[in-house]
């Protein structure tokens, strides 16, 4: 039992017919393993973090920038959760904050050229880690898994958020 992670230990204690709990724990185990690898790679390769990558990724999708509130909403966190991350990225000139012309209380956050370059390098590593993690799946299996998980997310949102 020493070499097993928490998810494996808990799964062993579940009755065989606890399919949904087993599926949930398997998803968590996969996510945790990939996330741990990404955190290590981002720290060693870029002296950066997964939350910084998440902010850069979000801003890379919105060339005109986002307000702090919009950025937090896209990341599904509070503005307080991202303020420090945004400040660190700004201090390294990867993002720029400016005051909105329409409302001086609103800050607009945009990606700089250096930020886009960093994001592209980090994103290449991200894709590499995901490809390595899922290389045991055929293209067909990966497509089926993605569709099943997407359908599951829709159902979870319907059941839990409505």
| Domain annotation covers residue 141 | no
Q: What is the pTM of this model?
A: 0.85
Q: Is residue 14 part of a domain?
A: yes
What is the count of structural domains for the chain?
A: 1
What are the phi and psi torsion angles at 111 (to 5°)? -85, 135
pLDDT in tens, the chain (162 residues): 468 878 788 888 888 898 999 999 989 989 999 999 999 999 999 999 999 999 999 999 999 999 999 999 999 999 889 999 999 999 999 999 998 778 888 889 999 999 999 999 999 999 999 999 999 999 999 999 999 999 999 999 999 987
Q: Kindly provide the b/e burial profile for residues 95-108, where b requires at least 16 CB atoms within 10 angstroms of the residue's own CB.
A: beeeeeeeeeeebb
Sheet of 107-111, strand order: 66-67, 107-111, 95-99
Q: Residues 13, 16, 18, 22: what is their CA dihedral angle, to the nearest 10 degrees?
A: 70
**79 found inside a domain:** yes
Distances (CA, A) of 94 to 61, 97, 138: 15, 10, 37
Identify the CATH number of the domain in which residue 48 sits: 1.10.10.10
146 within some domain = no
Q: Is residue 24 part of a domain?
A: yes
In a domain, 82, yes or no: yes
Residue 65 forms part of a structural domain = yes
| Domain assignment of residue 89, given as a range | 6-136
Instruction: Tell whether 160 is covered by a domain.
Output: no
């Amino acid at each position: 039992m020493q070499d097993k992670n928490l998810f494996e230990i808990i799964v062993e204690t579940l009755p065989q017919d606890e399919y949904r709990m087993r599926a949930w724990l398997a998803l968590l185990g996969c996510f945790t393993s990939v996330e741990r690898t990404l955190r290590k790679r981002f720290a060693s390769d870029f002296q950066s973090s997964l939350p910084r990558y998440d902010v850069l990724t979000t801003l890379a999708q919105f060339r005109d920038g986002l307000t702090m509130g919009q950025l937090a909403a896209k990341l599904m966190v509070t503005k307080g959760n991202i303020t420090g991350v945004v400040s660190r990225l700004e201090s390294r000139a990867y993002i720029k904050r400016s005051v909105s012309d329409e409302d001086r209380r609103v800050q607009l956050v945009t990606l700089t050229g250096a930020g886009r370059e960093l994001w592209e390098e980090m994103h290449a590593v991200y894709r590499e880690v995901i490809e390595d993690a899922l290389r045991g799946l055929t293209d067909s299996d990966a497509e089926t898994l993605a569709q099943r998980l997407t359908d599951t997310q829709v159902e979870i949102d319907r059941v839990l958020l409505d």
